Structures are given as structure tokens and as C-alpha cells.
Structure 1
Amino acid sequence: MKVIFTKRFIHKLSKQTEYIAKDKPIAAEKFEEDILTKSLSIPQFPVFSFRKSTFFDDENIREFIFKGYRIIFRVSKHEITVFGLYKWQETLKM
């Protein structure tokens, strides 16, 4: 199964990485690498082992929390689209 990242997700990840890099450049690089690696590993697990997103009433939209961030993704027949990156306590803004 293919994993796709939306432009919006990449933009938010980039902005968060830049913010972290102001104080901790090495940690910022690792943060970005770890989130991308974890997201790319989604197909290695049963999709429904990830919890249903609390923001959507859709069984195909799932999320996981990683290093204090919610990563939200949509599952379709042939691909996983990663589209959300939010602090775990933040509300969704589309």
C-alpha cells in the first residue's frame, strides 16, 4: 500500500521543524525524520489497529499520536493519505 503526504501536511511538518530548530537543530531534524518514518510504516500494521480520528465521523480516517502530535490519515483501497499534523491537545482547523 502506498503512503502519500499532502502538501498541507508537508508544510505543517516543515513549519514545526523550523520552530524546533530555532533552539535544537539536531532534535528538529530527528523529529521530522521520525514522523516521516513512522508515517511510512503505517502499511506494516493492520490499519484498524490505529484509532479512529476523534475529528471525523469516518471509519477510514485514523490517527496516531507520536511525540505529542496527532498524525491523521485517510485509508483507501490502494493508498494511505497523511494529511493532518496537530499537537495532541489542539483542535482541528481545516
Structure 2
Amino acid sequence: MDYQVILSPKAVNDLEKIVRYIAINNPEAAKKIGQQLLSKAKELSQFPLRGQIVPEFNDPNLRQLILKPYRIIYRVEQSKKQISIARFWHSSRESLEL
């Protein structure tokens, strides 16, 4: 059975900010990166443990996928068969906040 992928309010806000920022100079690129980030996040429904453990937290349920220069931070909730996308984080930003 596939896992359900859910975006947290912070993740939705992150994605909106990323797309708006890129769209200032390149609306087509903004749309493309937004779609790529969402597509990569949705892939987790099939492969929830695909990402690596987030080094800042060392929690086996908190993982990340990289789509340079972005990190997709997510929590695996195996008992609920659910993936919660916590953040879409640009690698140039300082310390990760959940």
C-alpha cells in the first residue's frame, strides 16, 4: 500500500516563496522548479525511506531528498502510512528550522 504524502503549512509556505522569488525573473523556471519539487515529494508515496537521515537531527524518521539547491525535509510515520513534508529548504539558508 502506498503512503499518503501530506504537505505541512510550512512546506506550502516555503514552496510558494520559492516559486514567487524565481518568478520575478523567470516565470517559466519558477513553474518548472515548483512542479519538480512537488513531483519529487510525491515519489515518496512509493519509496518512503528513500531519502537520507537529516544530519542536523539524527532522527531515523526525519529524512531528506535533495533536488539541488533544495532539500525536501520529511517525516516518515510508518504506523499511519504517511509522509509529512516538513520543509522545502534552500541549501544556502542557514540552520534548518522545523
Q: Give the TM-score normalised by the residue count of structure 2.
A: 0.87
Matched position secondary structure for 2:22: helix
2:73 maps to what in 1? 72
Unaligned runs of 5+ in 2: none
Deviations 1:23-61 (A, max 9, x none): 0000000110110011001122251x3110012121000
CA displacement 1:47-79 (0-9 Å, x = unmatched): 1x3110012121000001103111100001210
Determine if contact 2:48/2:83 at 8 Å carries over to the other structure. Answer: no
Counterpart amino acid of 1:93?
E
Find the aligned partners of 1:8 and 1:74 in 2 and give their Cα distance.
13
By how many angstroms is 1:84 displaced? 1.3
Following TM superposition, by how much is the alpha carbon of 1:4 offset from its aligned partner in structure 2, in angstroms? 0.3
**Partner residue, 1:57:** 58
Moved more, 6-15 or 38-47: 38-47
Structure 1: stretches of 5+ with no match in the other structure: none
Percentage of pairs with the same residue: 32
Kindly tell me the number of residue pairs found equivalent between the two proteins: 93
- TM norm structure 1: 0.90
CA RMSD of aligned residues (A): 1.3
